[in-house]
Chains A and B, each alone.
Chain A
């Protein structure tokens, strides 16, 4: 009789030539994910999956975008790609260490408190081969109740252009909708989890570092861009309290390559201090409340042009603005 390894080999439930998973060219789904990764956006949230449509977009879609950008109806739609935030030339950069001290003082009374759920505005770029990219803007509110149920409301809106139509791709096909159009409204039954990012973030810097590492599925300490990715994930799940803010700023103050550049006014009209990380492919700007250390926003811009996708260096690929 065969040895135990041979017996186990014969009991392989998914052999190399299995119908669904046999070697061969990538299928549509896999190809799309690769493109999404290579072009600077990672899946994980609805908004970040947004890029997907662009990679399979048809000429019709692109033509729509062109019509919106160039011709347009009487009320100009709010689809043009937002410009990167501009740092005020006369402002003084505030080092993260100083901000960490302020946040620590602000957290002394423990108020405001951590709250599960989020309120975020996102602008995400959709790209199509050889066509100009377009940007979707939406607002997402997630509220949790005491019985561990939660609701999620997503609407199409661009607060920089109130009242103007905006693009939405809720059915996978981009189309123009009215400002405030409800993309989805869902109620979820009770659920609990003890794993990040669903579990409550700690307000101790060391434990928060481990939490963010786990939220980022990493076995090794996070690099600065990885840390920023994890912060994005965290803030898409939680509205941090003063203590968590303080712990997060402390972590960010130790992050390599994150440098203060000065004051910006974010897309919601809030003044913040900007901290920049120059990465390969994509640059990040973290916008923080100068008094409390709360993360107000995160902007990702292309650092190199990708003519195939109509992407220019400096284009904003993703922007999230979080609110309490």
Chain B
């Protein structure tokens, strides 16, 4: 297949996955999600010669950069920055479930929001995009070992924040050693 055909196939297969990726980071504002996703695929089109055989993690990497540019940049993006800074929903506080319920919501997002952007991203890629560690490495543009290390540390820090947000949970059964989870995917 040509680059163009590969690109078209990847577009059709992963358009909605990329849309979800962006929506998770923009709190699902449909109109802005579409705009950013359009940018993601425009950049991907220009770089289609680099499209790997398993394109989804690579597309997530492109999307990550587009979102970073969106936060830095112009016009619409300036508005995004304002919202990212001020809108509670971005930080998941719109999700009502409390720590005493089985379905976690806002308080998990609160715990996540206390971590560095890099920690947040490796955790989201693993939990929300359900990537394995090799795929996380592609999305982050780093090696497998580095990705594994980042995830290990990020999990540990998330656990600490969860315990801090809701100490009662700390008394419960702690998870298994995070380092054993790296076989995921």
Residues of A in contact with B (beta carbons under 8 Å apart): 1-14, 16, 18, 20-24, 26, 29-30, 33-34, 37-38, 42-44, 191, 193-195, 197-198, 214, 216-220, 223, 225-226, 229, 280-281
Residues of A close to B20: CB separation below 8 A? 14, 16, 18, 21
Residues of A close to B164: CB separation below 8 A? none
Contact with A along B32-50 (1 / 0, CB 8 A): 0110001101110111011
Partner of B46, one of A214, A218, A280, A281: A218
User: Do the beta carbons of A21 and B78 come within 8 Å of each other?
Assistant: no
Partner of B28, one of A5, A13, A191, A217: A13
Could you name 30 residue pairs across A and B whose Cβ atoms are closer than 8 Å?
A1-B173, A3-B181, A4-B178, A5-B155, A8-B112, A8-B123, A8-B124, A8-B158, A9-B128, A10-B103, A11-B105, A13-B28, A14-B28, A18-B28, A21-B19, A23-B17, A34-B41, A37-B45, A43-B38, A191-B74, A191-B75, A191-B78, A195-B73, A195-B74, A198-B73, A216-B43, A218-B46, A220-B50, A229-B46, A280-B4
Interface size class of B (residues with CB under 8 A): 35 or more
B85 at the interface (CB under 8 A from A): no
Contact with A along B1-37 (1 / 0, CB 8 A): 0011001100110011101100110011010011000
> Distance in Å from the Cβ of A148 to the closest Cβ of chain B?
12
A13 and B95 contact, Cβ closer than 8 Å, known pairs A2-B175, A42-B42: yes
Residues of B in contact with A (beta carbons under 8 Å apart): 3-4, 7-8, 11-12, 15-17, 19-20, 23-24, 27-28, 30, 33-34, 38-39, 41-43, 45-47, 49-50, 65-66, 69, 72-75, 77-78, 92, 95, 103-105, 108-109, 112, 123-124, 126-128, 130, 141, 155, 158-159, 162, 169, 172-176, 178, 181
In the bound assembly, the distance between CA atoms of A76 and B78 in angstroms comes to 46
A4 and B15 contact, Cβ closer than 8 Å, known pairs A14-B24, A44-B42: no
Residues of A close to B130: CB separation below 8 A? 9
